[in-house]
Amino acid sequence: NKQVYTFGGGARDDSARSRDKTIVGGKGANLAEMAGIGLPVPPGFTITTEECVRYLAEGGDFSESLKAEVQAALAHIEAAVGKKFGDPADPLLVSVRSGARVSMPGMMDTVLNLGLNDATVEGLATSSGDPRFAWDSYRRFIQMYSDVVLGLDHHLFEDALEIAKEDNGFYADVEMEAPHWQALVREYKGIVESELGRSFPQDPHEQLWGAIRAVFDSWDSDRAKVYRRLNDIPGDWGTAVNVQAMVFGNMGDTSATGVAFTRDPATGEKAYYGEWLVNAQGEDVVAGIRTPQYLTKAARERAGAKPLSMEEAMPAAYAKLAGVFELLEKHYRDMQDIEFTVERGKLWMLQTRSGKRTAKAALKMAVDMVAEGLIDEATAIKRVDPMALDQLLHPTLDPSATRDVLARGLPASPGAASGAIVLDADTAEKRAERGEAVILVRVETSPEDIHGMHAAKGILTARGGMTSHAAVVARGMGRPCVSGASAVSIDMASRTLKIGQRELKEGDIITLDGANGDVMAGKVPTIEPELVGDFGTLMAWADRHRRMKVRTNAETPDDCRMARQFGAEGIGLCRTEHMFFDATRISAVRQMILAEDEAGRRAALAKLLPEQRADFQAIFAVMAGLPVTIRLLDPPLHEFLPHSEADFTELSEAIGIGVDTLKRRAGELHEFNPMLGHRGCRLGITFPEIYEMQARAIFEAACAVAAESGDAPVPEVMIPLVATRKELTILKALVDRTAEAVFAEQGRRIDYLVGTMIELPRAALMAGEIAEDATFFSFGTNDLTQTTLGVSRDDAARFLTPYVEQGIYPRDPFVSLDIEGVGQLVELAAERGRQTRGDLKLGICGEHGGDPASIAFCEKVGLDYVSASPYRVPIARLAAAQAAL
């Protein structure tokens, strides 16, 4: 197979390999493509990624066949340009550029002006008639080559340049004339000699192969490895090398270089956007040595800037460039990010690729391009990254505001929030009730903090990872959260805290940025999300193209309303225990738990019944006409137990049982491993009166709403943590009995379903049998992951990060479903369940229901719906559409 492909200069290779990004890299493929559609691209060639992979594996010298191919490709450039590489009279110069499959900022820097030496620089000066330009190019070359290929510290050269300018009394690089650059070149060569003990390579071929080798080696540089790890890029792709004839933006005032986007990458507005510099080369625009100028007149005027835009300074070249923008957008049917150079008035294209953009811009461009007829709806749906929508659904910090950053933690839940620091949940609730914006700051959170988390605008914890209690609950509630900020230390006694170096106290204002984990002092202004316009349009298209329904995980009427605004089509998981933690009920709950016998429990449950009924009634009213899956009590009773002396005294006074008795009873209920203990349907089996009360509350509430509105919800009563059919048989009978009793009392019937969560491996295996009693399954993939992997979610933070870093799991299995392993159980249970009951309803709840990769899997397995937390509902709608397309 060929390992070198030429482009430009009239040569045309239309083979699949020559345009395949996996073979020639993104940059190479697009250079060939641009040349192919007749755009002015300096001729060049690309050495394949395959050669890189081979070179890195085998090491050593390059093969004779590769050398021959490169020689032939070089001859192609020479013929096209009409100059010879190394010709002392009129030399061909080239750039050597890396280019992987996807753009990688971690890769090698480009080497420009390669082919210059003490002889060819003179030839360039004569042939161009511009010695200043020739010596400027030579000093640039020595500096770049020494840095990138020879591994010398670039400061050595930058310092020498600064001193040279100072000595001559100059301020800017452009003030340097030929003799100044010539003197600097002498000095640069001296630096190389004293650093390396040998002189700067003069042979252009040695220079070329040195640069090619450096590009290949850069694939395994630390920078590149870090970038790959952060961006999930496989280590075995390799990079291509592009060698291309130089065009010169540094040939005086009719020359220039620049970068541009065909639309504004920040807003999506259909307006050219870019920067350029007169008499400059490549990196000058991004390096910050000189301030780049505006590309268009409109942008310059809007900014009130003086230096002329390219549109004004070089109208002819600009008109050509604008024509290229139009052509490239039509060709690629997407916004392009472009690099160009103008050499003595002539425009040259050096790169194009689909441009990176903000979520807002992605939406606007997708919708606009459909209106322009550039793309169809399906393409527009696929263009927008569902996860990026997250940025749009929460208030975000005003990007123009200044930040006084105190510390950084993990970006656990997106959005931004400002408020007064509070150090416990009760204080959070009290101050929030008075209308104050508060941020709950804890070492870590527990289920008892839920009311405080709900009351707070944001949550900050010193400990815990991305799947810690605080992180999961905050995401579910749509509260911004920064977790694991280890620079936070709290002193509860004095109610003060230290964040980084700063001493703070309760009541001080801080701001959290859940998008990057920043913790800032004071209030930083925010901007509100916008759910209409382009967002609404794209979501409507997504809804037309998806098959799966999207429900939400919600347990408060507020969350339900929010989820409906976001487009939820029902509730997939209503966790009833959250209602039990409410401050006004916890004592009745504790009384129930600590009761010595059934009679005691029933007395306490009688107090809870009207409360639960009211909860369900409020939820059903919001969700009228839609399915609502309610999970009966699931957590170990252990979690509700009183802890402090104060808790016990308070409870003792409330229910008239001695503190000692309560403590003894609490001790009896202590569990070693509550996650695998007395929880889920095991509660229903041992204390049937609890589930009976809950079922009664559900049916009474449903009848009440049906009587009021005539539009009854469809309760789907869900029994958690079932392992055997027998458990379900017993509990289904209990629910049915309760339903019949309520219907008889109320004189009306409503439709309802009884089903189960599949969250234990045994339940998945026995799904065929369990489906005899269940009319629906909801895959509880949080617990199914815990129990299949044997990994406790609450303890996983300590080892999961290294696990993911070493590729043991490709991603955190609590964030993105372990499709290979846990996925098998889901697939198998779905299949076996449907064999028993053809119309078995299948859904997924838990964190994975809002993760696009997991949603794609659910589509493949044929689930009927996914359920996600309210803020994830739009993400799930879009991801479900993408999965269906």
Q: What residue numbers does the annotated binding site for substrate cover?
A: 575, 631, 759, 780-783
Q: Which entry of Mg ion, ligand ADP, none binds 759, CB below 5 to 8 A by partner kind?
A: Mg ion
Among 759, 812, 818, 847, binds Mg ion (CB under 5 A): 759
What is the closest distance, in whole angstroms, from the C-beta atom of residue 136 to ligand ADP in the complex?
13
What is the closest distance, in whole angstroms, from the C-beta atom of residue 339 to ligand ADP in the complex?
4
Closest CB to ligand ADP among residues 7, 776: 7
Annotated catalytic residue: which of 76, 451, 469, 578?
Answer: 469
d(Cα 829, Cα 727) in Å, to the nearest integer?
A: 17
DSSP state letters, 278-314:
ES--TTHHHHTSSPPEESSHHHHHHHT--SPPHHHHS
The dihedral of CA 476, 480, 484, 488: what is its sign?
negative
φ, ψ for residue 543, nearest 5 deg: -60, -35
What is the closest distance, in whole angstroms, from the C-beta atom of residue 11 to ligand ADP in the complex?
16
Among 30, 146, 182, 244, binds ligand ADP (CB under 6 A): 244
Closest CB to ligand ADP among residues 30, 427: 30
Q: Which entry of ligand ADP, Mg ion, none binds 258, CB below 5 to 8 A by partner kind?
A: none
What is the closest distance, in whole angstroms, from the C-beta atom of residue 782 to Mg ion in the complex?
6
Asked if residue 292 binds ligand ADP (CB under 6 A), the reply is no
- Number of chain positions touching Mg ion (CB under 5 A): 5
Judge whether 429 and 448 are in contact, CB under 8 Å.
Answer: no
In 3D, which of 626, 613, 580, 623 has the Cα closest to residue 703?
Answer: 613
Q: Which stretch binds ligand ADP (CB under 6 A): 242-250, 420-428, 697-705, 831-839?
A: 242-250
For ligand ADP, the binding residues in 544-603 under the rule CB under 6 A are: none
Asked if residue 110 binds ligand ADP (CB under 6 A), the reply is yes
For ligand ADP, the binding residues in 194-233 under the rule CB under 6 A are: none
Long-range Cβ contacts of 744-752 (<8 Å, 24+ apart): 746/700, 746/703, 746/707, 748/703, 748/706, 748/707, 750/699, 750/702, 750/703, 750/706, 750/712, 750/714, 750/715, 751/712, 751/714, 752/698, 752/699, 752/702, 752/714, 752/715, 752/716, 752/717
Asked if residue 246 binds ligand ADP (CB under 6 A), the reply is yes
For ligand ADP, the binding residues in 1-40 under the rule CB under 6 A are: none
Longest dimension (CA), the chain: 106
Q: Which stretch binds ligand ADP (CB under 6 A): 119-127, 243-251, 578-586, 749-757?
A: 243-251
Q: Which entry of Mg ion, ligand ADP, none binds 247, CB below 5 to 8 A by partner kind?
A: ligand ADP
d(Cα 422, Cα 350) in Å, to the nearest integer?
A: 55
Among 351, 587, 694, 781, binds ligand ADP (CB under 6 A): 351
What is the closest distance, in whole angstroms, from the C-beta atom of residue 285 to ligand ADP in the complex?
7
The one-letter amino acid at 245 = A
Closest CB to ligand ADP among residues 285, 428: 285
Judge whether 293 and 300 are in contact, CB under 8 Å.
Answer: yes
Q: Which entry of Mg ion, ligand ADP, none binds 257, CB below 5 to 8 A by partner kind?
A: ligand ADP
Annotated catalytic residue: which of 560, 681, 845, 858?
Answer: 845
Q: Which entry of Mg ion, ligand ADP, none binds 671, CB below 5 to 8 A by partner kind?
A: none
845 part of the active site: yes
Radius of gyration for the alpha carbons in the chain, expressed in angstroms and rounded: 33
Among 31, 66, 100, 112, binds ligand ADP (CB under 6 A): 112
Asked if residue 282 binds ligand ADP (CB under 6 A), the reply is yes
Closest CB to ligand ADP among residues 246, 438: 246
Residues at the annotated binding site?
Answer: 575, 631, 759, 780-783
Closest CB to ligand ADP among residues 9, 715: 9
For Mg ion, the binding residues in 777-806 under the rule CB under 5 A are: 780, 783
What is the closest distance, in whole angstroms, from the C-beta atom of residue 351 to ligand ADP in the complex?
5
For Mg ion, the binding residues in 323-362 under the rule CB under 5 A are: 339, 351
d(Cα 479, Cα 528) in Å, to the nearest integer?
A: 14
Who contacts 450 (Cβ-Cβ below 8 Å, separation ≥6)?
Answer: 425, 473, 578, 581
Among 83, 97, 132, 696, binds ligand ADP (CB under 6 A): 97
What is the closest distance, in whole angstroms, from the C-beta atom of residue 79 to ligand ADP in the complex?
17
Closest CB to ligand ADP among residues 244, 336: 244
Burial code (b: 16+ CB inside 10 Å, e: under 16) for 489-521 equals ebeeeeebbebeeeebebebbbbbbbbebbbbb
Q: What angle do CA 859, 864, 866 make, to 5 degrees?
A: 70
Closest CB to ligand ADP among residues 92, 626: 92
Position of tokens 């700051």? 441
DSSP state letters, 399-456:
TTS---EEEE-EEEE-SEEEEEEESSHHHHHHHHHTT--EEEEESS--GGGHHHHHHS
d(Cα 392, Cα 582) in Å, to the nearest integer?
A: 31
Q: Which stretch binds Mg ion (CB under 5 A): 9-17, 472-480, 560-568, 754-762?
A: 754-762
Neighbours of 208 (CB within 10 A): 21
What is the closest distance, in whole angstroms, from the C-beta atom of residue 271 to ligand ADP in the complex?
22
Among 81, 247, 438, 764, binds ligand ADP (CB under 6 A): 247
180 part of the active site: no
Judge whether 133 and 58 are in contact, CB under 8 Å.
Answer: no
For ligand ADP, the binding residues in 331-350 under the rule CB under 6 A are: 339, 341, 350
d(Cα 242, Cα 51) in Å, to the nearest integer?
A: 13
Who contacts 157 (Cβ-Cβ below 8 Å, separation ≥6)?
Answer: 142, 143, 146, 147, 188, 191
Q: Which tokens belong to 703? A: 């009848």
Give 195-234 as a 3 state SS string.
HHCCCCCCCHHHHHHHHHHHHHHHCCCHHHHHHHHHCCCC
Q: Which stretch binds Mg ion (CB under 5 A): 4-12, 340-348, 773-781, 798-806?
A: 773-781
Closest CB to Mg ion among residues 759, 812: 759
The dihedral of CA 71, 77, 83, 86: what is its sign?
negative
φ, ψ for residue 349, nearest 5 deg: -100, 130
Residues at the annotated binding site for Mg(2+)?
Answer: 759, 783
What is the closest distance, in whole angstroms, from the C-beta atom of residue 244 to ligand ADP in the complex?
4
d(Cα 163, Cα 156) in Å, to the nearest integer?
A: 11
Closest CB to ligand ADP among residues 257, 738: 257
What is the closest distance, in whole angstroms, from the C-beta atom of residue 28 to ligand ADP in the complex?
10
Closest CB to Mg ion among residues 173, 759: 759
Residue 169 is given by DSSP the state T
Q: Which entry of ligand ADP, Mg ion, none binds 783, CB below 5 to 8 A by partner kind?
A: Mg ion
For Mg ion, the binding residues in 368-407 under the rule CB under 5 A are: none
Q: Which entry of ligand ADP, Mg ion, none binds 511, CB below 5 to 8 A by partner kind?
A: none
Helices of type H across 95-150: 120-128, 131-148
Asked if residue 143 binds ligand ADP (CB under 6 A), the reply is no
Q: Which entry of Mg ion, ligand ADP, none binds 780, CB below 5 to 8 A by partner kind?
A: Mg ion
Q: Which tokens belong to 55? A: 């070179």
Asked if residue 95 binds ligand ADP (CB under 6 A), the reply is yes
What is the closest distance, in whole angstroms, from the C-beta atom of residue 420 to ligand ADP in the complex?
45
Beta strand pairing status for 776-780 and 841-845?
Answer: parallel
Q: Which entry of ligand ADP, Mg ion, none binds 42, CB below 5 to 8 A by partner kind?
A: ligand ADP
* Residues labelled as active-site residues: 469, 845
Residues that bind Mg ion in the complex, under the rule CB under 5 A: 339, 351, 759, 780, 783
Residues that bind ligand ADP in the complex, under the rule CB under 6 A: 42, 95, 97, 110, 112, 244-247, 257, 282-283, 339, 341, 350-351
